[in-house]
Structure 1
Amino acid sequence: MRGIDGCAYELALEAPLSQGEALADRLLARVTGEAGGQRRDITDVLGALNRQGRVGLGSATTTRLSGLGARGFRWNSGDEDVSYWYPQGITGSSDAEASGQVEGRRLIMTSWYHKTDARPTKGARLSVADITDLNDVSYRHLLLVDPVEEGGQVNYTSAEYDGGNALHAGGIVWWGRYVYVVDTTRGIRVYDLGRMFRPSDTDDTGAIGIRGGRSDAHGYLFAVPRIGRYRLTSESCPVRFSWVGLDRQSDPPALVTGEYISDQVSGKAAVWPLDAESGLLETRQGSTVASQALVIGQTRAQGGVRVGGDVYVSSSSQDGNQGRLYRGRPGQANTSVNWVYGAEDLYYERAYDLLWTAAEHPGARDVVGVERF
């Protein structure tokens, strides 16, 4: 792992955040007016968790992570085996709030993308899981939606790339009301839990948006709208956004983004300072410049976080088909421990000193945390 000098990485909002918020507010007014929906918030979600997680980890994961203090849960059998939704990003209440809890609960949030050749796709979704008691985990899925102008009115679509593929949502960070979601080649999207809504109808899993006086979100009970998108500026050096983690303990706190490259160790990570009061990227003269950049030094980086100056990187398929979890600092050699099959994004839970990931492959989707090393 080494630092990068002589190249600046820079993000800026593609439009003022006030414009995105105004569009989302217009959408809320239409959904709750003519389209029969209702405004909702995270309290409503926690009161409507409708799926039961399974206790413990799979035997392969338990064996693989022996001695690392592994703990976690599994999704219900339907979500464990589904072939057209794949989990990717992970965050939780330790990122969201300084206390480490939301509404007095210990929570995990993951992202999934709709893996399908069909068009249009269902985009990306979030899962909010209550892990206060790991022997009794309940959760619910929420759909990410993007407000759009349509014939002089505002409507909404699934979260997709500009070309029409489902947003991969390879990494997420939850901070206050905001959920940051990486947009692989462009930057970072911002979704607003404070502007969440319940569509009027949930009986049509193929329908999205407002039509004929009703609102739909592919059958989901909750939809979370986008309010902003940070994009690389024309002056920035190129970098991809495969994942994102949070350093909540640094001053200022910061997002850490990084690149997945399957066959080279040249993938880069960049550190983006946050304004702790607003929860948005720290902006000077209209843009945010990365405060640090480094070469990761490992292939297949699927996630990363920074803790006390150490950078932890979740890599997949480096040990046969198994992952490795690395710790490093610029100028120092990386150390590593066994990691899970299908490892993805990383999340650091401060109160328990745990590093978490959500494995992606059907039949082996453990949500697992290990003791930080």
Structure 2
Amino acid sequence: MKHRGRHRRRKQGRAMRAFLAGTALALTAAATMISASQATVGDDPGALEPLTGAGETRALGLREQLAPQATLDELASRMGEPVGVRAVLESADRSLRTASGCTAGERTALPVAPAATRAYCWDAADTRSWRAGAVTTSGDADDDGWWNDNRVILSGWSQGSGDRGLARVSFVDANDLNHLRHASALLVVPVDGGRDYRALTSRLSGMVWYQDKLLVTADDGLFVYDMNRVQRTTVDAAAVGRVGDGWSAHGQRFVLPAIGSYRLTGADRAPRLGAVALDRSTAPDSLVASEWTPVDSDRHARLWRYDFSKDPARPGLLATDPAGSAAAVEAYETEASGTAGILSHRAAGTKRADWYLGRVPGTTDRQGSMWRQNTEGAKATRCGSEDAPRCWGAQVGPLSYWEATGEVWSQSGRMLFAVPLRSIDRALD
């Protein structure tokens, strides 16, 4: 269970915001070495087109399927009592380097404009053969930005594909933003009634930590994890699952077993799920998602949202009807292709939500782009002598808005970084 100390934490949050504002990194020198003159300027996706037809939104529906409680209890009884997030953070013995310790080549993955105010790089030995795919934080988990007494960043990674795929989450201790440490847990799925587990083999392109649940993308929907059910492994081996009398997770010291899933029900009209993010500016809070389409594709993509449940008995789960279906409550079509990061946010005093889209570089581009799109049009951050829009990270990744600090966290290759949302808006305006 989460224990709160909101008044103390709000003061700490204000102190952290002041600290961040006063310690912005001088990261632009490396980023501006990249020429924006090669960027294309004719990829304006225009205004969002609302999708209102029942058939159009029905294709975006999800069907919830939660694991039987007996299955989860059986796994816990065999592996031992779950240990939770704190145990993973206490075991964190790997460090991320701050931007000053990253190579010039690593820093070229950062946005050109606006510049990151915080940036770190993962050690190559920790990420070899793994692909960065998702970021979420304790700022998503709770609006005060804390999980118990910790600030946490979660970074998702995938390895391999098909039946040989793996997915893990790195738990980053963000209490001291000058010294980030991390440890990882393998994402798994209980099988055989909880007597064993298998690896999550799906591609991981996005995740959201909301209340005590972690929702991660799968090939045809979302898997759901309970952050209070982290389990320790006992065997350091390449195998995944039960090994003799012990438990192995491909060398990871922890596993996070899925407690359920949401499957897209639109058959051949269902999208290929791309990025996901949390939007706290709606009532109730909502999960937004984007459809993945190949970069430079002429095919229009869809953006949509689901409400989170307000039922106290269903913390962190989506709102569903009696049949267990979660409907898209809002949907749009966009001409933007290659979307790898998404945010939706409604500024105070406005009626319309803006959608922020991080788009991967085109075939002739070095950098990705950041667009803000709504039903009236689209704008991009621009840079260089030609005022071109290709100014975002070289390897565009997910977007996660930490409301308590006003920062957007993302990842570009091995670079983990933060940019204030107000800086993005300023660059757009």
TM-score computed with the length of structure 2 as normaliser: 0.76
**What is the distance in 2 between the residues matched to 1:68 and 1:153?**
47
**What is the distance in 1 between the residues matched to 2:280 and 2:268?**
25
**For residue 245 of structure 2, what is the aligned residue in structure 1?**
213
Q: Which structure 2 segments of 5+ residues have no match?
A: 1-47, 347-352, 383-390
Is 1:313 the counterpart of 2:357? The answer is yes
Is 1:156 the counterpart of 2:197? The answer is yes
CA 1:223–1:69: 2 relative to 1, 3 Å? closer
The DSSP-based 3-state class of the residue aligned with 2:78 is helix
Contact 2:357–2:370, Cα closer than 8 Å, also in 1: yes
Moved more, 167-176 or 260-269: 260-269
Q: Deviations over 1:221-277 (max 9, x none)?
A: 110000111112358952221121110231011111111212235111110110144
Is 1:369 the counterpart of 2:418? The answer is yes
Is 1:87 the counterpart of 2:125? The answer is no
**For residue 52 of structure 1, what is the aligned residue in structure 2?**
95
Pairing partner for 1:11 from 42, 52, 62: 62
**For residue 308 of structure 2, what is the aligned residue in structure 1?**
274
Contact 1:357–1:367, Cα closer than 8 Å, also in 2: yes
Is 1:27 the counterpart of 2:43? The answer is no
**What is the distance in 1 between the residues matched to 2:404 and 2:259?**
30
Task: For 1:2, give the aligned amino acid.
Answer: E
The DSSP-based 3-state class of the residue aligned with 2:145 is coil
**For residue 387 of structure 2, what is the aligned residue in structure 1?**
none
The DSSP-based 3-state class of the residue aligned with 1:343 is coil
Q: Which structure 1 segments of 5+ residues have no match?
A: 33-37, 161-166
Q: Select the structure that is richer in strand.
A: 1
Moved more, 190-199 or 226-235: 226-235
The DSSP-based 3-state class of the residue aligned with 1:103 is coil
Q: Select the structure that is richer in helix.
A: 2
Pairing partner for 1:242 from 274, 277, 298: 274
The DSSP-based 3-state class of the residue aligned with 1:317 is coil
**What is the distance in 2 between the residues matched to 1:284 and 1:333?**
34
Is 1:284 the counterpart of 2:321? The answer is yes
% identity of equivalent residues: 27
The DSSP-based 3-state class of the residue aligned with 1:341 is coil
CA 1:62–1:110: 2 relative to 1, 3 Å? closer
TM-score computed with the length of structure 1 as normaliser: 0.86
* 1:344, distance to aligned residue in structure 2 (A): 1.2
Contact 1:10–1:235, Cα closer than 8 Å, also in 2: no
CA 1:271–1:212: 2 relative to 1, 3 Å? same
Number of residue-to-residue matches in the alignment? 346
Q: Deviations over 1:282-332 (max 9, x none)?
A: 112321110111123211100201111111111111471211111111232
**What is the distance in 2 between the residues matched to 1:328 and 1:358?**
21
Map residues 1-373 of structure 1 onto 2, 5 A cutoff: 1-6=48-53, 7-8=56-57, 9-13=60-64, 15=65, 17=66, 19-32=67-80, 39-56=82-99, 59=104, 60-61=107-108, 64-79=111-126, 82=128, 84-115=129-160, 121=164, 123-149=166-192, 154-160=195-201, 167-184=202-219, 186-202=220-236, 204=237, 206-233=238-265, 237-262=269-294, 263-264=297-298, 266-276=300-310, 277=312, 278-286=315-323, 287-308=325-346, 309-318=353-362, 320-337=365-382, 338-360=391-413, 365-372=414-421, 373=425
